[in-house]
Every structure is written in structure tokens, then in C-alpha cells.
A = this chain, B = another copy of it.
Amino acid sequence: MTHPAALARWLERGDVQWYESGQVALRGDALELYQRLDRVFLGWAARDHGAGDELVPAFLPAAALGKIDYLRSFPHLVTLPLTLSHDPDEIRRYLAAGPQLPDGEIRLPPAAPIRDVLTPAACYHFYCRHAGQTIAAPTYLTTRATCYRREARYEPLTRLWSFSLREVVCLGPSEAVQAFLEGFAAKLEAFARQIELPVRFATATDPFFDPKQNPRWIAQVVAPVKREVLFDAGDGDRAPCAIASLNFHRTYFGEAFGMRHGDQPVSSGCVGFGIERWMHAILATFGEDPRAWPV
């Protein structure tokens, strides 16, 4: 890390504004870097795979995530959109009792049924859309979505409750998906070498709740399907952080969402880019002057 104080300077001049809840607001050069990075990733998806950009909404239907038992695998990460009962009398009683504590905490209100989940990963929107469909030819999709993962503690840019994830997804026969993932691994390796960003690849597992009780985690340990691109500033200031991941789902989503290729469940894979974490990597390596950025 050649520029350990660059983020501090951005925080001080307000290019990055820190929310204690684990979020950032961006403007000026920080927003410029965010946009430049996303153009690189979208460019790869568009040029190499013909994927057009999409805008997906904030909430996913809980019923769709039920198909993959998301809540049982990641209950500690999930964020749910809670709204008040539609009954005006229930609302009036809640307000009369004082809805908010002096420190700002909101008392749990009388709730309307919860039928949605705040997007935990951008690509789930695509599996929902293609549920029950036959995927005749390899299909490439991309979106940048705000994703939500509750953590025990947060850090500006690297560990956020809500963050921006650019994902590129391939649905198709297993060989096409594997070629897609290998292609992206090679592209990422060449890009990091070209701009001299200190990264390494490592196999990883998803952050399951009670992992040793979960057959899916055990399967991921036995036969790794997730690789991460780890940025390490090398100064001990922060732990290495995953700025991208490559995930081979085999037919997991194909089976869960009834997506078929011929008479088989379709395979899928996705590549994810955590944009704020890439900002951290560029900032720590090249500093906050836009003229020094290699993107």
C-alpha cells in the first residue's frame, strides 16, 4: 500500500462520506472512480459476451429465495424490508406508545407480512426471471445492483452493509459456463498484471451460518466452486480483501429454479465485482489523484 492516507483525505474532504451503519455516499473524484471501474467491468461483459446492462430493483420475492433455502443458509446476513400493518388503528396505537427511543432506535412496529428480501446478490434476479424456462443457447447477463449483507462490524469501502456489485452471469451447458469463468479468470489476471495491482487468486467458500452443519458448505470444501481475487496492500493495515469472485454453481440454480438446457437442468456461473472494494484497491495502490489511476 503506497497511499495509506488517501481514503482518510477523501473522507475529510467529503468525496467519500461514511455512514456508521456501514454505507458510503460518493461524489467528486470518488464517484468518478466508481463510474470508471464499472465501465471497465460492463465493457468486458458487453464486448466479450454481448451482455447488455440491466437495472434490477431493490427487493427480491422471498418465495424465490425460499427455493434455495437462502434464509437457512445465510440468516445472519439477510436484511428484510419491514413495513407497518395496514390497519390504521394498529398504527395509531403504535404511535401513541412512542415509536422511537431517544437515541433514534425504532421500536419494532406492528408489521405487515414480510414477502420480500433486500437483494443479497445481483444474479438472483436473473434466476427468478428465467425460472421454468428452457435456455437454448448460452446466455450472458449483467447488472450492477445494490446488495445488502449485514455484518458484525463495518469499514469504509471494504466492509459495507449496502454495496454495489457488478455481476456477469452465464446460463448454459456446463462447458460453456466453465469456459466463461476461465475466460474471466484470465482477463482479471491479465488486467491486474497490466495495471500492477497486487492480487492473488484463492479458493473460498460462501459464508454459511453454522457451516459445519450445512451439507452445501461441506460440498464446497470437498469440491471448490468459488475462487476469489484477493487484494492485499501488503502493509498489514487491513486484511486482504476479495475484490472479485468467480463462482461455478453447477446445476444448483438450474434445478432450484427449473431452468433447463435440453432435457437437463442448466448450469450457471457468475463473476462478481465489488465496486467499493475495487475503489479501495485503486486508492491504496495509486492514491487519490485521478491522473494516477490506471483505469
- Cβ contact within 8 Å between A62 and B115: no
Q: For residue A104, which residue of chain B has the nearest CB?
A: B63
User: Which residue from B53, B56, B75, B104 sits with its C-beta under 8 Å from A94?
Assistant: B75
Q: For residue A145, which residue of chain B has the nearest CB?
A: B25
User: Which residue from B58, B63, B72 sits with its C-beta under 8 Å from A103?
Assistant: B63
Q: Chain A interface (Cβ within 8 Å of chain B)?
A: 14, 17, 19-21, 23-28, 31, 34, 52-59, 61-64, 66, 71-72, 75-76, 78-84, 86, 88, 91-92, 94-95, 99-100, 103-109, 111-118, 125, 129, 146, 148, 150, 152, 161-162, 209-210
For residue A111, which residues in chain B have a CB less than 8 angstroms away from its CB?
108
Cα distance, A75 to B100, chains bound together (Å): 12
In the complex, given contacts A14-B129, A31-B52, what are 18 additional A-B residue pairs having Cβ atoms less than 8 angstroms apart?
A: A21-B59, A21-B116, A27-B53, A58-B118, A59-B161, A62-B104, A62-B105, A63-B104, A66-B100, A76-B91, A81-B148, A82-B82, A83-B150, A88-B210, A104-B115, A105-B114, A106-B115, A112-B150
Given contacts A25-B57, A210-B92, contact A79 B75 (CB under 8 A): no
- Cβ contact within 8 Å between A31 and B55: yes
- Cβ contact within 8 Å between A19 and B71: no
22 contacts between A and B (CB under 8 A): A17-B129, A19-B59, A23-B57, A25-B57, A27-B54, A31-B55, A58-B118, A59-B161, A62-B105, A63-B104, A71-B95, A72-B95, A75-B95, A76-B88, A80-B82, A80-B83, A81-B148, A91-B209, A105-B115, A106-B114, A106-B117, A107-B114
